[in-house]
Structure 1
Amino acid sequence: MAMIGELLRHVFRKPATIKYPMEKREVPEAFRSRIEIDLDRCIGCGTCARVCPSNAITIEGKAEKARLTYNIGKCIFCGLCAEKCPKQAISISRSYEITAEKPEQLIVVYEGPRGIKKKAG
């Protein structure tokens, strides 16, 4: 009898699910996802790599010849890198759609002759 009462309470309610991907859910203000790097501000100092607890960010080289690698698959989305960046070059995205067919597609490499620049591909 309790099951029938439960069923009747839920029959006329609005559905709990949404029609994703046609409808997108609003994310909370404090939601954290992948990082985004402002290439014009990044100086390649390596602070982000040092504070990253999951080693999702690595930097090879210094300043003008630095190469930054961000592995989204390793990232725990804690936000320490953005918090500690001295030039505020790192921001936290609010996008929750992170998909890839292969793990290599979750690796973003930034490099260039005049500082960190995003490598296409």
Structure 2
Amino acid sequence: MDARITKPEFDSAIPSCAGTLSSAEAVRLEATRLRDEAIGRWIRSAARALFRAVAEYPRRRRVYEELSTLSDRELADIGLNRGDITHVFEDEFRARERLAANAPAKARPANAA
């Protein structure tokens, strides 16, 4: 005995409104399509991020090792301390480096003390 349903059996089980979708069914299909597209975008961005991380690893490791070999005085000259070495590649750290002691000062407003 074959448990599969043939196309004629399937068509006979559906009400006679063959060919037309109800508005609820159309909304469901559109929502499913949008969900599938979003999942596809997420998978592509995750794969891209993974590939980028694997490709950048040797460079990051080399920079980390070079910074680790510097003395505390040399690190201070470039605005770092030994604890900052592990955070060099973080986005928040990059934003903070713009405010380093040896960075050019921004112009102050005229009424600032």
TM-score with structure 2 setting the length: 0.22
> Whose radius of gyration is greater, 1 or 2?
2
TM-score with structure 1 setting the length: 0.21
Greater relative CO, 1 or 2 (CA 8 Å, sep 6+): 1
Structure with the higher strand share, 1 or 2: 1
